[in-house]
Chains A and B, each alone.
Chain A
Amino acid sequence: KQEVTQIPAALSVPEGENLVLNCSFTDSAIYNLQWFRQDPGKGLTSLLLIQSSQREQTSGRLNASLDKSSGRSTLYIAASQPGDSATYLCAVTEGRLYFGRGTQLTVWP
C-alpha cells in the first residue's frame, strides 16, 4: 500500500527566505507526482505536475524535483512571500491519488 509522508508538518519563516518542503513515498511505481496548495477551508489548487519520466518542473518561484528510485520529491519555494502561506500537499498517482498530510506554511512579514 502506498504511503506518502511530508516533512516538516509545519513551517514558520520570515518573508524572503528560500524554502524546501519534502515528500517521500514507499512505492516507486507511480505515474506522476503532483503538488497542491490548499488555503484554509478551500479546495486544492494544482501547483506542479511531474510525470514519471521527468525529473523536475518549474513554475515561477516554485521548483519541484522527483527521484523515483529513492521515493522522494522536494518543492523549492524561492523568496517566500506572506501570500505563500497555505498548506502544501504532495500526492502520487497509482490509478488514483495518494496524499500526504501536508506541510502548513506560514510566511510572516
Chain B
Amino acid sequence: DTGVSQDPRHKITKRGQNVTFRCDPISEHNRLYWYRQTLGQGPEFLTYFQNEAQLEKSRLLSDRFSAERPKGSFSTLEIQRTEQGDSAMYLCASSLETGYYGYTFGSGTRLTVV
C-alpha cells in the first residue's frame, strides 16, 4: 500500500463546467475525509465517510458539491457548475475509526477555474 492517492494532480477547467476528483485511501482505513485549502489558509473540512456512509457534511458545502464512497473504498468529489471561487487545493485523507492513530493525506488535487 503506497498511501493515499489522489487523481488528477492538477485540473484546469472553464467556469460552469463540472469536475470530478478521485481519492483512493489506505486500504485498511475505514474513514475518508475531504478538505479544501486556499492560499495562506489551513485546510477547511468539507465532508467525511465511515465506510460507505457519509457521516458529516460542512455547512459551507454548497449544493453544487457532492461526494460519494459507493463501496467503502475509493471516493469521488464532484463540483457542478464550477465558479472561480472554487479554485483551491482539494485534499483527501484517511484514518482508522476516529483517527486516534493519526491521519494520512494524499498529495491533493489543484483546481484552477478560469
Among the listed stretches A14-22, A28-36, A75-83, which one makes contact with chain B, having 4 or more residues with CB under 8 Å of it?
A: A28-36
B30 contacts A by Cβ under 8 Å: no
CA distance A41 to B111 in the complex (A): 11
In the complex the two chains form, is B103's CB within 8 Å of A34's CB?
yes
Shortest distance from the beta carbon of B22 to any chain A beta carbon, whole Å = 15
In the complex the two chains form, is A46's CB within 8 Å of B42's CB?
no
Q: Once A and B bind, how many residue pairs between them come within 8 Å at the CB atom? A: 65
Known contacts being A42-B108, A43-B106, A43-B107, is A93 close to B42, with CB within 8 Å? no
In the complex the two chains form, is B102's CB within 8 Å of A49's CB?
yes
In the complex the two chains form, is A101's CB within 8 Å of B41's CB?
yes
Shortest distance from the beta carbon of B60 to any chain A beta carbon, whole Å = 13
Among the listed stretches B12-20, B72-80, B91-99, which one makes contact with chain A, having 4 or more residues with CB under 8 Å of it?
A: B91-99
In the complex the two chains form, is B98's CB within 8 Å of A44's CB?
no
Q: Chain B contact residues (Cβ within 8 angstroms of A): what range?
A: 20 to 34
Shortest distance from the beta carbon of B44 to any chain A beta carbon, whole Å = 8
Question: Which residues of B are found within 8 Å of A61, using beta-carbon distances?
Answer: none
Q: In this complex, what residue of B is CB-closest to A36?
A: B105
Question: Which residues of B are found within 8 Å of A102, using beta-carbon distances?
Answer: 42
In the complex the two chains form, is B99's CB within 8 Å of A31's CB?
yes
Q: Which residue from A41, A44, A51, A96 sits with its C-beta under 8 Å from B56?
A: A96
Q: Which residues of B contact A (CB under 8 A)?
A: 6, 33, 35, 40-45, 48, 56, 89, 91, 93, 98-108, 110
**24 interchain pairs (CB within 8 A)?**
A31-B98, A31-B100, A36-B105, A43-B6, A43-B107, A44-B105, A45-B105, A46-B104, A49-B101, A49-B102, A89-B42, A89-B43, A91-B42, A91-B103, A93-B98, A95-B56, A96-B33, A96-B48, A96-B56, A97-B45, A97-B99, A99-B44, A101-B40, A102-B42
